Structure 1
Amino acid sequence: MQIKNHARITASTLLLLTACCLLPTVSTAHNDRPLALRNVELEQKLGAQLPLDLRFRDEEGRTVRLEELLGRRPVILSLVYYSCQELCPLLLDGLLRALRPLSFDIGQQFDVVTVSFDPRDTPGSAAAKKADFVKRYSRAGAEDGWHFLTGDQDAIQRLTEAVGFRYNYETEKDRFGHATGIILVTPQGRIGRYFYGIEFSPRDLRLGLIEASSNKIGSPIDQLLLFCYHYDPTTGKYNLLVTRAVRLTGSFTVAALGIFIVVMLRRDRRRRLQPTERA
């Protein structure tokens, strides 16, 4: 008994010492990051409710409440700042590339809301961005469904905190350090899905929009895909569930075999019921 207790104490002590040795390393690695990138992240808050009372300015300088842009269709939310020359244009370009293959249209099956987190951005800069991307998207109705907003610091802070978007401002270089990704929001204003990076899978985006709409858009084929694919919050992607795919394939095989047997039996029965031709 004493030997077992001694072994447990020794193992616990080693584990504690290892953790203590690792802590300074982790802290140092975090502090070695550039100032603009410290504490920068896009934390998932799936199911969280957005503050619908927030007020922003649209491209024409009109005040709009967030709830006015929701309630009808799922929304793709992107957070950028319009003077950005690095990641923000890449993110919007990546979003545009993912939207083009979709049979869904902005302003019809879903909307896009792009919000600047720089309070210095103006409706004029928002209008310029909108004109560029609506023209490149080149589908009717997009001008009514893709909104580019600006706002004051209070509204920006409340929105970014609600969606888990953390960023820093680097004064010396007059730029922001920020994460990249888009957020799918339900018509009720709840966070449905996160997609990370600057390139997005059209398939994942389509499946996410269907789920965010509570299956009100999409086809029966999409429902089969949703049965076989599952959203993984750790990666922000839809992964194939092999067991479900095998089960679905097996069901189709059994159904096809059953139909084949029924057809063959009916054909054989008709053949037997036909009168024998006289010689």
Structure 2
Amino acid sequence: MSSLSTLPSSRATWRLGLAVAALVLGAALPAFALPGGGKTPRDIIDAQQPPQVQGVDVEEHLGEPLPLEARFTDEQGREVRLGDVLPKDKPTLLTLVYYECPMLCNLVINGQVSAMRELGLELGKDYEAITVSIDPKDTPAQSLERKRRHLQAMGKPETAAWHFLTGTEDNIHKLTEAVGYKYRYDEASKQFAHPAVVQVITPEASVSRYLYGTSFPTQDVKLALLEAAGGRVGTSFDRVVLSCFKYDGAMRRYGFYVFGFIRVGALLVLTALSTMLIYFWRRELKKGAAA
């Protein structure tokens, strides 16, 4: 009798255990494995974050144009249009930082420099770089100091094609809104809360890819630049390699693309067969001429 009386409570405990397990499992799963592809509503995400970072995010605006008429000041103190410093024949690495950032901005730029050193692509010839401060208080003198420091770390001259720009709040917002870069200023700490990301820009001045984090795999940066260039930079081999890799939006990186590999393999086989047939055809022609 006592064992029967405990059965309902045992079932309730079992159900509770299942519910708790489901909650724990749900928390452990990556966002892209959850129903809805991890697209949690913005207000729910903000409610779970400290007030200082609420609204800080990246809204990917792939294919969207940049505001070419936005005006900035370069490291030499000259006023320039964004459209004037963006190259029209090669891709660009665009970073948004601020010079008084105590940590994150330096990590992003240092990660970018580390990747750029190992790319196998030449700054100025194959691609360019632009860094824009999101703080209207930053100055051209600070831009020049940062440019010298980072180019020296790459072993490049001060004239290399990496532009450091400052601007007014209005022009900064034009650019950040165009690329979906959401940040906010915390009055208490006198600091900006912002994402860690590098944007890859096409020669047509539109957003091609976002590279997230503070450490950027060299292969991902190179493939993103080759992809943005549309075959206008890099070697023929680079373009073959690009066809074997595909960007994984969930993992936010490039992965091996088996169908691309098969397609390249089939092309190589076709080339080999064509060469062999041409060889035998020419040999038969020579035999016929000799007879």
What TM-score, normalized to structure 2? 0.76
Give the residue type in structure 1 aligned to 2:126. Q
| 2:126/2:234 contact within 8 Å kept | no
| 2:90/2:232 contact within 8 Å kept | no
Q: Give the whole-Å Cα distance in 2 for the aligned partners of 1:227 and 1:28.
A: 39
For the pair 1:163 / 2:179, whether they are aligned, the reply is yes
For the pair 1:139 / 2:136, whether they are aligned, the reply is no
Deviates more, 1:202-211 or 1:149-158: 202-211
The equivalent of 2:21 in structure 1 is: none
For the pair 1:208 / 2:190, whether they are aligned, the reply is no
1:223 is paired with a residue whose SS is: helix
Q: How does 1:6-21 map to 2 (within 5 A)?
A: none
Gaps (5+ residues) in structure 2?
Answer: 1-34, 36-40, 287-291
Q: Give the whole-Å Cα distance in 2 for the aligned partners of 1:187 and 1:213.
A: 7
1:149 to 156, 165, 184: 165
For the pair 1:237 / 2:253, whether they are aligned, the reply is yes
Deviates more, 1:212-221 or 1:51-60: 212-221
| 1:42/1:180 contact within 8 Å kept | no
Deviates more, 1:68-77 or 1:171-180: 68-77
Q: Give the whole-Å Cα distance in 1 for the aligned partners of 2:45 and 2:128.
A: 40
| 2:63/2:207 contact within 8 Å kept | yes
Deviation at residue 144 of structure 1 after TM alignment: 3.5
Q: Give the whole-Å Cα distance in 1 for the aligned partners of 2:61 and 2:274.
A: 46
Cα RMSD, aligned residues only: 2.9
Deviates more, 1:217-226 or 1:164-173: 217-226
Give the residue type in structure 2 aligned to 1:124. A
For the pair 1:113 / 2:130, whether they are aligned, the reply is yes
The equivalent of 2:61 in structure 1 is: 45
| 1:59/1:148 contact within 8 Å kept | yes
Percent identity, aligned pairs only, is 35
Give the residue type in structure 2 aligned to 1:114. T
Q: Give the whole-Å Cα distance in 2 for the aligned partners of 1:257 and 1:50.
A: 47
The equivalent of 2:143 in structure 1 is: 126
Q: Give the whole-Å Cα distance in 2 for the aligned partners of 1:154 and 1:254.
A: 56
| 1:57/1:123 contact within 8 Å kept | yes
The equivalent of 2:119 in structure 1 is: 102
| Deviation by residue 1:233-265 (Cα, 9 ceiling, x = unmatched) | 444322211122134335535655786799899
Deviates more, 1:241-250 or 1:112-121: 241-250
The equivalent of 2:107 in structure 1 is: 90
Deviates more, 1:166-175 or 1:211-220: 211-220
Q: What is the number of equivalent residue pairs in this alignment?
A: 248
Q: Give the whole-Å Cα distance in 2 for the aligned partners of 1:215 and 1:26.
A: 37
The equivalent of 1:277 in structure 2 is: none
| 1:193/1:236 contact within 8 Å kept | no
| Deviation by residue 1:5-42 (Cα, 9 ceiling, x = unmatched) | xxxxxxxxxxxxxx9xxxxx996663241222111111
The equivalent of 1:195 in structure 2 is: 211
